[in-house]
Amino acid sequence: MRREASVLHLDLDAFFAAVEQRDKPSLRGRPVVVGGTGGRGVVATASYEARAYGARSAMSTAEARRRCPSGTAFLGGRFGAYRRTSDVVMALLRELSPLVEPVSIDEAYVDLAAPGTGHDLSVDGVTALARGLKARIAEATGGVTGSVGIGTSKLMAKIGSDLDKPDGLVVVPPGSELDVLHPLPVTRLGGVGPATAERLRQVGVGTVGDLAAKSLTDLVTLAGRAHGTGLYQLARAEDDRPVVAEREAKSVSQESTFERDLTDLAELNRLIDSMAARVAERLRASALSGRTVTLKLRRYDFTTMTRSQTLPQPTDDVRQVAAIARRLLAEAGTGGGLRLIGVGVSGLSQYAQGDLFADDDEPQEAVDDVVEEPAAPPPPADRRWWPGQDVVHDELGAGWVWGRGLGRVTVRFEGPLTPPGPVRTLAADDPALHPGDPPDWRPPTMDA
């Protein structure tokens, strides 16, 4: 731990949903759920209005639909819009310090004591700094808010940012860490998931204070040496992890959840080929390659399994990644049906050496499948569109997809700088309707 509260943690509030409400004025103040919208979909983010009805991240979309009232907006994600907003926020953080550690698209640590920063690290000083940061974020992002925690360690900064959400600010003064930490539920500690929490409950541990009363031997026996030692230290606020400006990617992966269980091997192999292509593209864009190819499967009964193969040399070759993933799928089987499949590459490095002995014809060309199987009918025109998608109509202007089905698509024509707009139902194959880019939420600059 540090002597001053000089680690800042920012967590943007219900980030995906907040961006949707900013860009879609008719949804402001209403329940919004972002995530998979199909039958197998999972909630990525729920607005605070939706959380009031029990919707939450990682819940199935079907369950969120049951809990939320009529009129709740269920939207597919718009990663481009979220990334643009995140980039603005991360740039503001880097104005505070050269040491900014993004944890995810909506979360980051900042070292306020980094060389050259010169910040006033008193409690009053960092409080004023955080208030100014929050105001700049709200202004620069069109109203997206974030909760800030500041403490003597990453642990206490993250705990602080979670204590007063949304739009909160908590500074944990040096010396008060245990007073803040010990009354909290033990699930507030990183690494205490449902299984660990249940084991702790069985031995009378419900709060962090209860955990701190356990000996190191007890916790190692309960959770294993590494995990038990970590819990012992966190319960005592012992955390000396530095803020690291560049986090190295550990893996590159792509996965998809299906609206129905899939069993057809040819169809699954085509999906694997597509995922392998996207993984390879991302590897090459980052000048990376990897040695371990992993296949992730979730079966009809929600059991999840992974299979992997490690190569003697790193690769970014799409043919090799796809061929290995196909072979792993054949070995695992598709019995009962699969509802999720993913392809990933790990063991990353900046070095790539193709397999000189790889067969040129692996994986099989898609034309082989076409010869052996009847061609699938084209998807309905309305499948081009998904709820929440940005669109542009040649005559009606920019808007977003409200709904689709039966060969039609319903669009609400509005944007972040307009009042709530009108709704129009169009033919799904209307030639005047096109996919659009995320709208700009920033007002146009005024000429002098």
3-state secondary structure the chain: CCCCCCEEEEEECCHHHHHHHHHCHHHCCCCEEEECCCCCCEEEEECHHHHCCCCCCCCEHHHHHHHCCCCCEEECCCHHHHHHHHHHHHHHHHHHCCCEEEEECCEEEEECCCCCCCCCCCHHHHHHHHHHHHHHHHHHCCCCCEEEEEECCHHHHHHHHHHCCCCCEEECCCCCHHHHHCCCEHHHCCCCCHHHHHHHHHCCCCEHHHHHCCCHHHHHHHHCHHHHHHHHHHCCCCCCCCCCCCCCCCEEEEEEEEEEEECCHHHHHHHHHHHHHHHHHHHHHCCCEEEEEEEEEEECCCCEEEEEEEEEEEECCHHHHHHHHHHHHHHHCCCCCEEEEEEEEEEEECCCCCCCCCCCCCCCCHHHHHHHCCCCCCCCHHHHCCCCCEEEECCCEEEEEEEEECCEEEEECCCCCCCCCCEEEEECCCCCEEECCCCCCCCCCCCC
Determine whether 63 is an active site residue: no
- Residues forming beta bridges with residue 257, ordered by sequence position: 340
The single residue of 49, 107, 177, 414 carrying the catalytic annotation is 107
Separation CA 233–CA 236 (nearest Å): 5
Tokens of 351: 């070095």
The two structure tokens encoding residue 405: 């089905």
Place of tokens 């909290």: 184
Q: Give the Å distances, CA to CA, from 60 to 123, 141, 258.
A: 42, 29, 13
Catalogue the active-site residues. Answer: 107
